[in-house]
Structure 1
Amino acid sequence: MLLSAEHLSLNFGIRQLLNNVNFYLTEGDKTGIIGINGTGKSTFLKVLAGEIEPDEGTLFRNPNIKISYLSQNPV
């Protein structure tokens, strides 16, 4: 297992961005995260990368992997 997230929840104020999310990634897997603006995609990636701690749930990152992403900022 490279990465696993179980029962992740995250709120910003009264807004719930993640609700009981489960996600598993094993070697050789390919995945995409898609959705309309403001649905928590970037926030989910930040949780997976360890930049934000979830309010609830457990996250496992294999210590031999590096998680990175390129955020898109409007010019």
Structure 2
Amino acid sequence: MTDRELQHIVTKARDAKYGEFGVPSTGEKLAAALVLNRPDWLAEMHYTLAEAIERVGPEWLALIPKAARELEYEDERAAGKA
């Protein structure tokens, strides 16, 4: 796990959040859905939560909570709460 991997996941999730998915891999899409707590996106991709967890793998899965916190903090700063 590296800071580079964390920032990669944060960037993909941020892009997805604002509708700028581009051409991410399936793993990147699944990671973004997990970071953003979007089970509807998982369903649209025909993945269960368990399948998504398996697909992103243990290294990225360990970064999901950190990425989610980082994006939440960005939202709070933008709203003037932090």
User: TM-score, normalised on structure 2?
Assistant: 0.29
Looking at secondary structure, tell me which structure has more helix per residue. 2
More strand per residue: 1 or 2?
1
Q: TM-score, normalised by structure 1?
A: 0.30
